[in-house]
Chains A and B, each alone.
Chain A
C-alpha cells in the first residue's frame, strides 16, 4: 500500500436506528470498518444482523444515525444531495439482490443509464456499455429487455451496469440470493476477475460458498462486527481465482 492514498472505505462508530421510542430498532450498534484499495471483502451474518443496513449506508442510499463515513477520503456526511448523486454515479456501483433493472428498457439502455446521468456522450456511452456487457458474457443479449432474460442474465446485466462507470467501489447485496448455483457461479467468477484486475469489492452474503471467494471475511451479529478474517493479502489474487483462471 502506497502511503498517502486514503482507504476506499473508512467507517467509524456507525450506528443506525429505525423508528423511534419503544418500537425503535437498533440495526447497527457502532460499526467501524476500513477497506483498502483492491480489497475483496465478504460481509457475512445471519438474517437481520444488519448487513443490508450497513450496505445501504456504504452505498450512500441511506444515511447513518451516528458515526462518520469517509469514502475515498471524502466525508460523505457533509455532502449535499447534488454531490451525493455525483458520488453514487462516479464512485459507487451497486448490485442488488432483486437485480433492480428498469423494466421495458433493453440491457444496453440499462447499462448506458449511469453513463447518461454522468454526462458521457452517446457514442462513448454505447462503446463502454457494450464493453461492460461483453465482460459479463452478454454480448449477444444487448437488445433484450429484462423480462426476456433469465435471473442470472439479469444479474449479470446489473453487474455490467454497476461496473460500467469504473467505480472506486463495487457493492453487492446478496447478489446470488435469487440465483441458482450455476448462475451464482457465473456471477462469482465475474467478481473474481474484477478483483484480480484490481477493483475494490464489498459483497454481502450468508452463503459460505460465496464468502470463500473473498480475500477477507467480516462477520456481523446484531449490528456489530464480531469477526474479521483475512484470507489472502489485499494486493494478491482472490483465493478462488486460480480455479477460474483460463
Chain B
C-alpha cells in the first residue's frame, strides 16, 4: 500500500458517504469561517477607530475651554447652561473666574522660551452647518474651521489639489478656503474647484485647495470640512469672540508629554489657576487617547475571538458526534478489511487521511468563505483579516478532525478481526 493508494482509499471512503462527509465539513467550515471573520471584524473596527484618532493629528494636544466647576465668568455662563449637569458640579476649591481661550494664549504657547517642546500652535474657531453655494449648487458644510496654516500639518489634513493658505493670507484676512472632498463633490461635481468663488453664508470665499480624502467612515464625515484663515472666518462668520480650541503640535512623539506640561504651566499662569486639579481648560492628548482606545479595542477583539473559538468548539463537538455515531458502521468495515488481510497501518492510514482531508478541505473552504466575506462591509465595519487567525483556526480544525476522526479507527484497528466484525 503506497501513499497514493491510501489517499485513493480515503477519497473512496469519503465519497461513499457524501452526506456525512458534507455535514462534517460544514461544521468545520462554519467554525473556521467564524473565527477568521469575527477576528477580522474586530481588527477592522480597531483600525477604523485608530484611523479616526489619527485624524486628530499626530503628536498633538487639543486644548478646549472647560467650565467644569465654573466660577461663572464671562462667556462661561452660556456653556454652563448648555451642560445639564453644570449647575450641580459645585467647585471643590477656590477658583478664579473661568477664562476663555484667546489668540493671546496661543501666542504665548508659541513662544519657544515658554514652551520649547512645542512645534506649532494653531488657534481654531469653528462654525457649524454653514451653507455654501456655487452657481446654484448648495451644500451645508459640516464644519468650517478658521485657523492658521500650521493646522494642516498638525491635524493631519494634507491638500490633494491646489495649495494651503499662508501666513500672509492670515495677516491680510483674505477670504480664501481649502475645502474637503465631500464639499468639493457636492458643490462642483466634476468641475475643478480651484480658483472658483463660493459663497459661505453670504460671504464670498475663493477656493484655493481641496483636502486629501480621509475615506474614514464614522459618526461624522471627516471630509465635510472647509478650512479658512482665522481672521477671515472671525470677521465674516463667528465674530472675534473666544477660540473654540487651540491645536498644539509637539516636536516629536517623545516630546508630547513635555509639551503637555509646558502648555499646562503657561495656561495655568495666564488664567491664574490656583488649583491645578481644576483648571478652566482641558487638554486632549492624542497619544494617550490612542493608547486607551487601543487597549479597549484589544479587549473587544479578544472577546470576539472567544465567541468565535466557542463556535469552532461547537463545530468540533459536531464532528466528534458524527464520528462517534458512525463508529459501529466503521468498526464492522474495519473488521471486514482486517479479515481480508488489511495491515493495521493501511487501515489507520486510510482513516487518518480521511479525517485530515475532511477537516483540511472544510477548513480551507472556511478560509475561502471568510476571505470572501471580508470583502463586504459588515455592520459598518470593513473587516481586516489577521493572518495568524487563519493559521490558528485551520490548525485547530485539523487537530480536532485528526483526533476525533482517528480515535474510532485507532481503537477498531487494534481489535481482533472477529471482535470488530461482531461490534454492535
Write the residues of chain A forming the contact surface with B, with a CB cutoff of 8 angstroms.
56, 59-63, 81-82, 85-90, 92, 94, 100-105, 109, 113-114, 116-119, 161, 165
Contact = CB atoms under 8 A, between A and B. Distances in A.
> Considering residues A87, A92, A116, which has the most beta carbons from chain B within 10 angstroms of its beta carbon?
A116
Interface stretch (B274-282, B400-408, B414-422): B414-422
B344 A81 contact: yes
Interface stretch (B33-41, B314-322, B331-339): B331-339
30 contacts: A59-B339, A61-B338, A61-B416, A61-B417, A61-B418, A61-B421, A62-B416, A82-B344, A85-B338, A86-B343, A87-B341, A88-B341, A92-B341, A94-B339, A100-B336, A101-B336, A102-B337, A103-B333, A104-B16, A105-B16, A109-B12, A113-B340, A113-B342, A116-B1, A116-B9, A117-B337, A117-B340, A117-B346, A118-B341, A161-B340
Contacts of B16: 103-105
A114 B341 contact: yes
Contacts of B337: 102, 113, 117
Contacts of B269: none
Contact count band on B? 20 to 34
Given A82-B343, A100-B339, A117-B346, A105 B421 contact: no
B17 interface: yes
B1 A56 contact: no
Contacts, number: 70
Interface string B1-24: 100010001001000110000000
A179 B230 CA distance: 103
A212 to B, nearest CB: 28
A85 B340 CA distance: 8
The 10 closest A-B pairs by CB, nearest first: A89-B341, A104-B16, A88-B341, A61-B418, A61-B417, A62-B418, A85-B343, A114-B340, A117-B342, A100-B336
B338 A88 contact: yes
A117 B418 contact: no
B344 A85 contact: yes
A61 B339 contact: yes
Interface string B296-331: 000000000000000000000000000000000000
A182 to B, nearest CB: 26
A85 B344 CA distance: 8
Interface string B377-403: 000000000000000000000000000
A113 B8 CA distance: 12
A89 B416 contact: no
Given A104-B17, A105-B16, A117-B1, A56 B343 contact: no
A186 B9 CA distance: 32
Contacts of A165: 341
Nearest to B16: A104
A90 B1 CA distance: 15
A26 B421 CA distance: 21
Interface of B: 1, 5, 9, 12, 16-17, 332-333, 336-344, 346, 416-418, 421
Contact of B421 (A63, A82, A100, A161): A100
A117 B341 contact: yes
Nearest to A59: B339
A59 B338 CA distance: 11
Nearest to A162: B340
Nearest to A90: B341
> Considering residues A85, A87, A103, A165, which has the most beta carbons from chain B within 10 angstroms of its beta carbon?
A85
Nearest to A167: B341
> Considering residues B5, B16, B343, which has the most beta carbons from chain A within 10 angstroms of its beta carbon?
B343
A86 B341 contact: yes
A85 B336 CA distance: 12
A115 to B, nearest CB: 10
Contacts of A116: 1, 5, 9
A221 to B, nearest CB: 22
A122 B340 CA distance: 18
Given A85-B344, A117-B341, 13 more contacts: A61-B339, A81-B344, A82-B343, A82-B344, A85-B343, A86-B341, A86-B343, A87-B341, A89-B342, A102-B333, A102-B336, A114-B341, A117-B346
B354 to A, nearest CB: 14
B342 A85 contact: yes
A194 to B, nearest CB: 18
Nearest to A52: B418
A132 to B, nearest CB: 13
Contacts of B5: 116
Contacts of B418: 56, 61-62
A109 B417 CA distance: 20
B12 A105 contact: yes
Contacts of A88: 338-341, 417
Contacts of B344: 81-82, 85
B341 A85 contact: yes
A89 B17 contact: no
Contacts of B343: 82, 85-86, 117
Contacts of A62: 416-418
A134 to B, nearest CB: 20
A69 B65 CA distance: 101
Contacts of B17: 104
